[in-house]
Amino acid sequence: MNVVECKGLAKHQGSVKALDDLSFTIKEDTITGLIGRNGAGKTTLLKILAGYWYESSGEVRVFDEHPFNSLTVSANTILIDDQMSFSNSLTLQELLQEASNFYMNWDMELAQRLFSYFNFDSKQIHENLSKGKKSTFNIIIGLAAKCALTIFDEPTTGMDAAVRKDFYRALLKDYLAHPRTIIISSHHLDEVEDLLEDVLLINEGKRYLHLSIDDLKEYAIGLRGKSAIVRQWLNDKEVIHSQSIGTDRSYVVVKNDFDHDRATRLGIEVSPVSPSDLSVYLTNQKQGGIDDVFSKREFR
């Protein structure tokens, strides 16, 4: 069963196309990573899926319903991001209690255990927490709600490294015990790739790739060697990234659809490319990298 279905989805914000002809599906009981650079359209997409915003054109279905103003989607979906706000008249403990009255699958035992583990004071007010603490409290809500569609939009904003690792471990353990459809957006794929089953990579509002994490790991290969030999080898290859190393050596990333042994016999070093690095290479600006900025003598 597909929990999410999008066909030709577009969202215009003034003259900007935040989403542009985006089509994909997300299956039930999977963890999907929504990956892209800042401004790629990730938050816009997630707000549409959660029913917060209306699309400009195209089709979007969540639980086989249009998500905007849908009671079914609202009752079975939670979106956790760093913009969440709560009433200042309620303490953190009271917020957990109120959440239990709204989410039908609320797990108060899990919420209390996480609340204690992360050293929250039950009498604190959400607004008075540090940025990292707010994010930590928000993910407690997201995990304990156990919604059929759980969405985390850059959930670790402000968290230190130890807390981020704890969150990812908690998310995986709870998902294995209580499977549901989870979407987690990030521009740091290296932090979340061990959690993911599928990756949806978007760039400038368009779908770039939608693959299993295993297929993404095999999608490209790195080649390193003497520039002349590497250039000759690239004649019929799909080049994703290239850079010079020293005076006469090059490193290139190409689509992994050829016999590696032939390259090795020519003295070319073949190496894997991490999904995180690949995502960066695929979404690089077409005009070149940061080195090109410093290679110009004049700016106009």
Give tens-digit pLDDT for 72-117.
999 999 999 988 989 999 999 999 999 999 999 999 999 999 999 9
The per-residue pLDDT for range 245-263, each reduced to its tens digit, is 888 999 999 999 988 898 8
Q: In the prediction, which pLDDT does 233 show?
A: 85
Q: Look at residue 291 in the predicted model and tell me its pLDDT.
A: 63
Q: Is it the case that residue 287 has pLDDT exceeding 70?
A: no
Q: What number is the average pLDDT over the span 45-53?
A: 96
In contact, 114 and 140? CB cutoff 8 Å? yes
Tens digits of residue pLDDT in 174-220: 999 999 999 999 877 888 999 999 999 998 888 889 999 999 999 99
> Collapsing DSSP states into helix, strand and coil, what is residue 157?
coil
Confidence (pLDDT) at 195: 94
**Which of the two residues, 182 and 285, has the higher pLDDT score?**
182
195 in Cβ contact with 172 (< 8 Å): yes
Average pLDDT (111-126) is 96
All structural domains of the chain with their residue ranges: 2-216, 222-295
Cα separation, 99 vs 117, in Å, equals 19
Name the E strands within 94-190: 149-153, 181-186
Tokens of 247: 């005076």
The answer to whether the beta carbons of residues 152 and 96 sit under 8 Å apart is no
Q: Hey, what are 120's tokens?
A: 């929250």
146: left (phi over 0), alpha (psi -120 to 50) or beta: left
Q: Does pTM top 0.85 for this prediction?
A: yes
Q: Is the pLDDT of residue 284 over 90?
A: no
Give CA–CA dist 223/264, Å, rounded.
9
Question: What CATH class has 2-216?
Answer: alpha beta
Average pLDDT, the chain: 91
For residue 294, the model assigns a pLDDT of 63
Instruction: Report how far residue 177's alpha carbon sits from residue 220's, in angstroms, rounded to the nearest whole number.
Output: 34
Strand 249-255 to strand 220-226: parallel, antiparallel, or no bridges (unpaired)? antiparallel
Is residue 9 within a helix (H) or strand (E), and if so which, with residue range? strand 2-13
